Amino acid sequence: MAKTILIIDDSPTEMRLMSGALQNKGYRLVTATDGESGFDAAVKEQPDLILLDVVLPKKNGFQVCRQLKTTPETKDIKVILVTSKNQEADRFWGLKQGADEYLTKPFSEDDLIKSVVRNI
């Protein structure tokens, strides 16, 4: 059975980039465009991996990550923060919220696939 990846990003362009790269590799994709619906989708779908943007409407990625990692049903799901926030302090804070990896935009398709394979 194909592994499921939840992509939470409010940018249609980023969503297309990530979806295209991952569909080519045979993953099943679920998407959400804000933090709240992203968290709800994670609980409902129980994906194998979540690609989570930080700058999101309703609830930011740091908040969603913390919520995912402290909720019994989702605490074991791997989370990769995928964000344009490229400062070392952002990376530190993201990992402190429980993210398993921190990938900064812009990224190459290869970097994305490598991160996914490492975490799934």
- Domain boundaries in the chain? 4-119
pLDDT averaged over 10-residue windows placed end to end, the chain, 120 residues = 95 96 96 98 98 97 98 98 95 97 95 96
Please report the pLDDT score of residue 1 as a whole number.
80
CATH pick for 4-119 out of 3.40.640.10, 3.30.2230.10, 3.90.1300.10, 3.40.50.2300: 3.40.50.2300
| Three state DSSP letters for 54-116 | CCCCCCCHHHHHHHHHHCCCCCCCEEEEEECCCCHHHHHHHHHCCCCEEEECCCCHHHHHHHH
**Residue 10: C-alpha distances to residues 48, 88, 120 (Å):** 21, 23, 23
What tokens does 30 get? 């679920």
Query: pTM for the complete prediction?
Result: 0.97
